[in-house]
Chain A
């Protein structure tokens, strides 16, 4: 199992698209593999942000306007809590599997 996952990662990292629309992330929980990219696309007419202060991975992708996207590569196994700094009601989780 682990070998397959690692092999998959080595060959091609997937990119997962999350939409930010009406002050919601399009998914509440996203399951990805280590090495996958997650791209956050803003479909609202105002700015959004993406950050995580989780132990598994912390980052701040800054803010981006309508039509723009920010992406992050999921570096290690664990649960990453994602929030929008501007709109604290916007929350989602990324479960990163081996």
Chain B
């Protein structure tokens, strides 16, 4: 039982076995060639941190290791749980001391492709992001010097770091690089939508095809959800009600432009059926509620994005749109949990 295998069906790990064809270019909006929605084969990585098997192995161990937290009980995978689509199934994350956080845990699926990370875009790369939650007192509450000491005390980690990053040692940079290398393996897999995009007319049902037409047309979804990852990596205020008393200013906390008040980064729609609840504060339990939100043109009108307006979708169009989103769920894969160094 030590080497537990997660039986939950989860998505992708291997980047080499996918039969996907890279799209020619990202669709800007509206009607784009179906092939442009296919995931590019290549997963981008920075020059100084090209993935190797041992870097991914080390990163995976760190990702699943609760000793990365001050309490030794919270790992990255506590919130980014593969059994919940690399999220946590909760409206908002829960951090140190079981205290709820203010924002939903985003999936880490396809974050390798993100040029900007976090709901408010405050991180520029996976390496830049990796230590943030570890250090944050409300999240994993682990000071980095203390973490390096813990890792250095374990022979298993000393060996892995030596093999993964020869001569670089156990440092904040190598911890971040290893975690980022593992995260870059978590990419979307072949979905019914992808099979249809490659020409298999029978891969999806008629409601999915109609839903895709709504997605690109009347629904105006492609104003923000663009390309293979179904995101423009941009920031929009879509009029979601705040849950707490204090409005979350989102991107405005990073860029003091009034138009960015309440704007948050467009999330991917890949595997979206697996990552409920939805929105930056987990306000909606179902995709049907999400569609209703957009159909009524959002709730909070102050600073609302000009892309958001009432859609007047009929019940069939709403159902079709949900069917389309459900067709973006990739092929299930099993995730093995690594044995962690004990001494």
Contacts and interface: CB of A to CB of B under 8 A. Distances in A.
Interface of A: 21-23, 44-47, 49, 51, 53, 60, 62-63, 65, 85-89
Interface stretch (B41-49, B199-207, B229-237): B229-237
Contacts of B121: 88
Nearest to B115: A89
Contact of A49 (B25, B222, B224, B259): B259
A85 B234 CA distance: 8
Q: Is the interface of B mostly helix, strand, loop or mixed?
A: loop
Contacts of B259: 49, 60, 62-63, 85
A85 B116 contact: no
B26 interface: yes
Contacts of B234: 23, 86-88
Contacts of B263: 85-86
B238 interface: no
B260 A47 contact: no
A25 to B, nearest CB: 14
Interface string B318-330: 0000000000000
A72 to B, nearest CB: 15
Contact of A47 (B26, B116, B222, B306): B306
A88 B116 contact: yes
A79 B52 CA distance: 41
A60 B234 CA distance: 17
B78 to A, nearest CB: 29
9 contacts: A22-B26, A45-B223, A46-B28, A47-B306, A60-B259, A63-B306, A87-B233, A87-B234, A88-B121
Contacts of B224: 46
A98 to B, nearest CB: 29
B255 interface: yes
Nearest to A62: B259
Given A49-B257, A49-B259, A51-B257, 5 more contacts: A23-B232, A44-B29, A53-B255, A86-B305, A88-B233
